[in-house]
Structure 1
Amino acid sequence: MENSYHVPVLLKECIDGLNLKPDGVYVDVTFGGGGHSREILKNLGKDGVLIAFDQDPDAQRNKIDDPRFHFVDQNFAFLKNNLRLLGYRSVDGILADLGVSSHQFNEPERGFSTRFESALDMRMDKQGSLTAADVLNTYSEDQLHRIFGIYGEVKNAKSLARSIVSGRVDQPILTLSDFKKVAAAHIPKGKEHKYMAQVFQALRIEVNAEIKMLEDFLVQTADVLKSGGRLVVMSYHSLEDRPVKNFLAKGKFRGEVEKDFFGNEQKPFKVITRKAVTADAAELERNSRARSAKLRIGEKI
């Protein structure tokens, strides 16, 4: 099941990065197709524990039948509380693979893909109330300009936002074809796919509050990891990689690392990967999605 659902990227590097102990407690906060989780379980003894998080109802179908495995139907931003509910105040390692799974892109009705005609949904959590269509039909021109510019790095974000706001007056933008009609004049010839991918990335990040959720999650990892425990995070674009890199290096997302009275740096992690780990040529040939993956590892001080 997991192979068609999502091929895990940098699998060996992730597992090595966790520095697994057979009797340790580990958390895979982005379960998806379960590829990383299955590999972690292979390396744990009978007393090891793996807790997996995923808010996507489709991921629940991949749950693993193993007494050492616990599944939490929640976003990783609620890491600490859910671990406590299960009776764990601290853990030995945490893995996060921040990519949208291939499965989500391949399911037309989820509205993540620029390839299929579908309603503009993009909710990772089906219980969430905000959809991509809501964003396009209710956000102001300034708000749309901001999310396309910051989250999608779309070149003509301002004029695209203006066209959406004037276009939706005649008819709401509910499907991919509705959007393409309104945006047609702004899509650069020969670069349609890249442009639409950037716009859709921006909408997806906004709908799922991805950057805020990521920052909330990272702060909690410092609280729940044991001393010497590992945090392994794989990201696929600079918006995600930047907060991960800053938090591992400085213990915060903006500004300089804080120091105590004696000038000692106050930060929760020692950086294990000075430079992000990326896929080698053999993996890129097997899995093109690995192209943009950046893996960073920190060890709790």
Structure 2
Amino acid sequence: MRLANLDGRAVLVTADGVVDLEATSRGRFPAYPDAALTRIPEIRDWLATARPLVDASVTLASLEADATRLGPPVTAPGQIFAVGLNYREHGTETGLGIPDSPLVFTKFPSSLAGPAEDIPLPTATCDWEIELVVVLALGGRDIPADKAFDHVAGFCVGQDISERTGQLAGSPPQFSLAKSHRAFSPIGPWITTIDELDALDDPTDLALTCTLDGETVQSGRTRDLVFDIPTLIGRLSGVVELRAGDLIFTGTPSGVGFSRTPARYLAKGNVLRSTIEGLGTLTNTCV
């Protein structure tokens, strides 16, 4: 399934059209996207027997061409975790190496944005970081790694936009604020459930590509994660209580602007396109 936030309402996106969950189920399922994600198994069972009304005026193809009606598929997560240096080549390009355990920081929910939303640039040193984002449907503490995917609603594409001057101004550096400016966490275009990726050879090995004005600046695969998704869920839940709707930004591959010679940053008018195999694309313009 692809669960999206269309004009503020929870919908399923299909090739034939969209299904408004609350209207089509006659109130059985909620209209609020965050509430719907906790009921994905029930929605799947309902779809197996129901013949839901499909709005054919809005399709998968039309939303891929123009996602401006889509908001972030999770609007108010209680917690947003992000993982630093979680791709080996990214650790190498920064000169910081590969960590022995996950390097975790937070992003604030007010930084969330939709898949086609503009990104205001507060300084001249804002950077791109494409990331696979894990969306939790079920929380808990001390979740065993072999049960981790039972807690996952699905995946979406994310950008961890980073204001490098503020991030590196202090000692130690201050990641959370510098990565939480307005629209610094675009996600989407929808939540893709894991079963939707069954046609791929390995749903845990997805290609990530980030382009800037058509030029490829990042290219990687999720198989290169230093700490995989079950490990991250296990480590995080061993410290804090995870909750439904929480997001985990799992790290970025190499190719960020800060590590280039000379350094390169986002500028007004740049179009940033972030694509993950099987999950879709974000298209965000810098303003």
More strand by share: 2
Same fold (TM over 0.5): no
TM range (shorter): under 0.3
TM-score, normalised via structure 1 length:
0.25
Per the normalisation by structure 2, the TM-score is 0.26
Higher helix share: 1
Q: Using CA pairs under 8 Å that are at least 6 residues apart, name the structure with larger relative contact order, 1 or 2.
A: 2
